[in-house]
């Protein structure tokens, strides 16, 4: 999906909602191709406090215990420049940033 600006819905894990001081989903204007990288860029631009909490600030590598889901798919291992599902780009489905189940 391309366009001037798509509104993408992003669901953050509870700890990151607290850190960013938001409630519920975040709606982001994403310009250009709606990719994971573009969504995370827009998220971090709006909420700089989230820089480093989802992906490494220098390499962009996803933190080990973070997962990216959308439309019942695990997109965690997709490259950052891969387009997100149309339903995410259209704002009908949220992009889910999830803290992996770990630690028991």
Partner 1 sequence: MSGVRVLVGTRKGAFVLSSDGKRDKWDISGPHFAGWEIYHLKGSPADPERLYASQTSGWFGQVIQRSDDGGKTWEPVGNEFHYQGEPGTHQWYDGTPHPWEFARVWHLEPALDDPDTVYAGVEDAGLFRSADGGRHWQELPGLRGHKTGPSWQPGAGGMCLHTIILDPSRPERIFTAISAAGAFRSDDAGQTWRPVNRGLHSEGIPDTGAEVGHCVHRLAMHPSRPSVLYMQKHWDVMRSDDAGESWREVSGDLPTDFGFPIDVHAHEPETVYVVPITSDSHHFPPEGRLRVYRSRTGGDEWEPLTRGLPQEHCYVNVLRDAMAVDSLDDCGIYFGTTGGQVYASADAGDSWAPIVRDLPAVLSVEVQTLA
Interaction site with partner 1 (CB under 8 A): 13-16, 18-19, 49, 51-54, 57-58, 63, 65-66, 99-100, 102-103
Closer to partner 1 by CB, 34 or 43: give it.
43
Two tokens, residue 3: 């366009």
Q: How far is the CB of 18 from partner 1 (least distance, A)?
A: 8
The CA-based angle 75-79-85, given to 5 degrees, is 45
What DSSP state is assigned to residue 62?
B
Closer to partner 1 by CB, 43 or 54: give it.
54
Q: How far is the CB of 49 from partner 1 (least distance, A)?
A: 5
CA distance 79 to 37: 8
Closer to partner 1 by CB, 35 or 53: give it.
53
CB 45 within 8 A of CB 13: no
| Number of neighbouring beta carbons within 10 Å of residue 61 | 10
Q: How far is the CB of 35 from partner 1 (least distance, A)?
A: 22
């Amino acid at each position: 999906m391309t366009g001037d600006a798509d509104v993408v819905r992003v669901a953050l894990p509870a700890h990151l909602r607290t850190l960013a001081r938001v409630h519920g989903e975040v709606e982001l204007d994403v310009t250009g191709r709606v990719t994971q990288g573009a969504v995370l860029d827009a998220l971090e631009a709006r909420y700089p406090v989230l820089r480093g909490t989802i992906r490494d600030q220098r390499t962009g590598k996803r933190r080990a215990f973070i997962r990216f889901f959308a439309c019942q798919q695990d997109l965690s291992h997709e490259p950052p420049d891969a387009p997100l599902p149309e339903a995410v780009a259209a704002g009908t489905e949220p992009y889910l940033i999830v803290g992996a189940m770990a630690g028991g």
